[in-house]
């Protein structure tokens, strides 16, 4: 993956720079850190409202090695491949009640009710402690106007709002435990006292609640530290107010060691997705996170199938794009390694090293369209003469081309005429045919 060549299209609109980028793989956003993604479908598009980790700015004197977050962006896509950054929608200096030096704009949510978009966000108040504020807009990407005061009677983080089938709205949030309160029809005040869900696991921090309804079952999903770091669990109920009964684990603790796993779950065009985060662009510091998406499936009885996180993600990849095979679907048991192209600049992406004959990478869901491509290009470098075979659908599927990679320390683009090119969506298999170890940045069909 080589960001400068990663299909970045930049356009100026309404005085703001907006970027549309083909990020069909995980992580979804490469040019900045993103965390705590809440995905919502508005006006037929999928919008993601993440929080925005940044590196501590000069003069920052908050808690060392902790979250530093001063604003929010919103992203949207209609195909889960091309993501548009709509720019900043809220800042710590824009809401009267927020301590403008607190860098504490944690996990947000956004919902649509009666013609307005409501953006809920936690931050540290000028009066101290985490509170939850609301900003209101006419469009899902703003401009959002923040309320002057936070929601009265609510102290906590990680707001999540469910609008039930009858139009009633519920605010879920956390502060070690998970709370619920009914929202008044104005969406900015609660009715009565918040209640704690006290029949969930008794031990271990719980935060980041996300509630949705499917076929009459209410799902309360939440990160929980059952062991060392957060994993995603869920509980079910027949009522949005509970009681919720623990039902299982959706996502195990991250193999990367990322401590948090804030998330959301959304149905987009008939497929359910889990949006979550990990620390793909910051392996050594898990407070600089990156959002991801994977497909989620239900069993017939309504239980949720556990998800195995992928690098491949969920979007189709155009055959004519620079296909980042380091975001593979599967690899041979030996001979494949993925590493940053430039350790000093993780945002430049990754390379795949093939180090033994017959080692292979499978990359799913490449869209050949009408199959009008004529050649295969591979950006690669090799310690000595090396060859790669590109096949379709299976490791012994139709050979699309054999690409010879010459010896050299510089990256070069090797090219060969393509044959047997298909139409439509297929898997690719890239195999080291013979020769020396070879690094591959991307594969493309031109
Ligand atoms: O992003 C800051 C905090 O980390 C969130 O609010 C929590 O859910 C956890 O992801």
Taking the domains of the chain in order of start, what are their residue ranges?
A: 7-296, 317-445
Per-residue pLDDT band at 440 (split at 50, 70, 90) = very high
Each residue's pLDDT tens digit, 43-76: 999 999 999 999 999 999 999 999 999 999 999 9
Q: Best of 158, 175, 176, 258 to mutate for ligand 1, by most ligand atoms within 8 A of CB?
A: 158
- The atom number, within ligand 1, closest to the CA of 207 reads 8
Per-residue pLDDT band at 199 (split at 50, 70, 90) = confident
Of all residues in the chain, the percent with pLDDT exceeding 90 is 91
Average pLDDT across the chain, whole number: 94
Q: Is 160 in the pocket of ligand 1 (CB under 6 A)?
A: no
- The atom number, within ligand 1, closest to the CA of 107 reads 6
Each residue's pLDDT tens digit, 238-267: 999 999 999 999 999 999 999 999 999 999
Residue 22, pLDDT score = 61
What is the spatial distance between Cα 446 and Cα 92, in angstroms, rounded to a whole number? 46
Q: Is 24 in the pocket of ligand 1 (CB under 6 A)?
A: no
- The atom number, within ligand 1, closest to the CA of 289 reads 1
Question: Is 2.115.10.20 the CATH classification of the domain at 7-296?
Answer: yes
Instruction: Look at residues 135, 140, 113, 109 and name the one whose alpha carbon lies nearest to residue 42.
Output: 140
Catalytic: 36? yes
Q: Is 68 in the pocket of ligand 1 (CB under 6 A)?
A: no
Residue 429, pLDDT score = 98
Residue 251, pLDDT score = 98
- The atom number, within ligand 1, closest to the CA of 223 reads 8
Q: With 90 as the cut, is the pLDDT of residue 383 above it?
A: no
127 exposure class (CB count in 10 Å sphere: 0-12, 13-18, 19+)? exposed
Q: Is 85 in the pocket of ligand 1 (CB under 6 A)?
A: no
CA of 200 to the centre of ligand 1 (A): 19
Out of 70, 71, 85, 207, pick the active-site residue.
207
Is residue 133 within 8 A of residue 147, CB to CB? The reply is yes
Question: Is 3.40.50.300 the CATH classification of the domain at 317-445?
Answer: no
Per-residue pLDDT band at 389 (split at 50, 70, 90) = very high
Residue 2, pLDDT score = 40
Hey, whose CA ends up nearest to atom 4 of ligand 1? Answer: 260
Of all residues in the chain, the percent with pLDDT exceeding 70 is 95
Hey, whose CA ends up nearest to atom 1 of ligand 1? Answer: 106
CA of 67 to the centre of ligand 1 (A): 8
Q: Is 390 in the pocket of ligand 1 (CB under 6 A)?
A: no
Range 16-50 burial, b when 16+ CB lie within 10 A, else e: eeebbbbbbbbbbbbeebbbbbbbbeeeeebbbbb
Cα Rg of the chain (Å, integer): 23
Q: Is 51 in the pocket of ligand 1 (CB under 6 A)?
A: yes
CA of 161 to the centre of ligand 1 (A): 16
Q: Is 35 in the pocket of ligand 1 (CB under 6 A)?
A: yes
CA of 107 to the centre of ligand 1 (A): 5
- Write phi, then psi, for 158 (nearest 5 degrees): 55, 55
Q: Is 208 in the pocket of ligand 1 (CB under 6 A)?
A: yes
Per-residue pLDDT band at 126 (split at 50, 70, 90) = very high
CA of 188 to the centre of ligand 1 (A): 22
Residue 435, pLDDT score = 83
Whose tokens are 């936690």? That residue is: 122
- The atom number, within ligand 1, closest to the CA of 51 reads 1
Is residue 134 within 8 A of residue 188, CB to CB? The reply is yes
CA of 36 to the centre of ligand 1 (A): 6
| Number of other residues whose CB lies within 10 A of the CB of residue 55 | 11
Catalytic: 138? no
Residue 198, pLDDT score = 86
Q: With 70 as the cut, is the pLDDT of residue 16 above it?
A: no
Q: Is 157 in the pocket of ligand 1 (CB under 6 A)?
A: yes
CA of 325 to the centre of ligand 1 (A): 30
Q: Is 286 in the pocket of ligand 1 (CB under 6 A)?
A: no
Instruction: Look at residues 125, 242, 128 and name the one whose alpha carbon lies nearest to residue 178.
Output: 242
- The atom number, within ligand 1, closest to the CA of 122 reads 6
Residue 436, helix vs strand vs coil: coil
pTM for this predicted structure: 0.95
| Sign, CA torsion 231/362/28/370 | negative
| Sign, CA torsion 342/345/346/347 | negative
CA of 33 to the centre of ligand 1 (A): 13
Is residue 35 within 8 A of residue 68, CB to CB? The reply is no
CA of 263 to the centre of ligand 1 (A): 10
Residue 406, pLDDT score = 87
Q: With 50 as the cut, is the pLDDT of residue 151 above it?
A: yes
Q: Is 276 in the pocket of ligand 1 (CB under 6 A)?
A: no
Would you state the structure tokens that stand for residue 349, as one six-digit string? Answer: 């992406």
């Amino acid at each position: 993956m080589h960001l400068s060549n990663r299909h970045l299209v930049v356009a100026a609109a309404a005085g703001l720079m907006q970027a549309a980028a083909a990020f069909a793989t995980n992580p979804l956003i490469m040019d900045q850190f993103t965390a705590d993604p809440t995905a919502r479908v508005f006006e037929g598009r999928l919008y993601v409202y993440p929080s925005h980790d940044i590196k501590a700015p000069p003069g920052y004197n908050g808690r060392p090695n902790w979250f530093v977050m001063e604003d929010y962006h919103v992203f949207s896509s209609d195909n889960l491949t091309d993501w548009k950054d709509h720019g900043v929608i809220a800042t710590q200096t824009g809401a009267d009640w927020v301590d403008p030096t607190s860098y504490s704009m944690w996990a947000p949510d956004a919902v649509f009710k009666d013609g307005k978009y409501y953006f809920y966000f936690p931050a540290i108040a000028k009066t101290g402690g985490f509170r939850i504020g609301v900003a209101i807009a006419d469009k899902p990407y703003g401009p959002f106007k923040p309320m002057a005061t936070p929601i009265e009677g609510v102290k906590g983080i990680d707001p999540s709002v469910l609008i039930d089938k009858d139009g009633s709205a519920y605010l879920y949030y956390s502060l070690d435990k998970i709370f619920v309160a009914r929202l008044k029809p104005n969406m900015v005040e609660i009715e009565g006292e918040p209640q704690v869900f006290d029949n969930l696991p008794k031990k271990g921090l719980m935060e980041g609640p996300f509630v949705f309804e499917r076929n009459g079952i209410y799902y309360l999903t939440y990160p929980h530290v059952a062991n060392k770091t957060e994993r995603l669990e869920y509980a079910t109920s027949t009522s949005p107010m509970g009681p919720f009964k623990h039902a299982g684990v959706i996502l195990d603790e991250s193999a990367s060691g990322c401590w948090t796993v804030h998330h959301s779950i959304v149905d987009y065009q008939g497929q359910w997705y889990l949006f979550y985060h990990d620390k793909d662009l910051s392996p050594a510091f898990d407070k600089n996170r990156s959002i991801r998406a994977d497909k989620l499936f239900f069993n017939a009885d309504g239980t949720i199938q556990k998800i195995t996180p992928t690098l491949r993600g969920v979007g189709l990849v155009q055959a004519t794009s620079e296909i980042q095979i380091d975001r593979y679907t599967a690899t041979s048991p030996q001979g494949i390694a993925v590493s940053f192209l430039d350790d000093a600049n993780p945002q430049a992406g990754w390379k795949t090293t093939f180090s033994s004959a017959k080692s292979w990478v499978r990359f799913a869901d490449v869209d050949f369209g009408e199959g009008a491509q004529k050649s295969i290009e591979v950006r690669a470098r090799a310690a000595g003469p090396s060859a790669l075979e590109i096949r379709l659908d299976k490791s012994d599927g139709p050979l699309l081309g054999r690409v010879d990679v010459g010896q050299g320390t510089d990256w070069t683009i090797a090219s060969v005429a393509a044959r047997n090119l298909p139409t439509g969506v297929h898997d690719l298999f890239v195999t080291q045919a013979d020769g020396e170890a070879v690094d591959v940045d991307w594969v493309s069909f031109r």
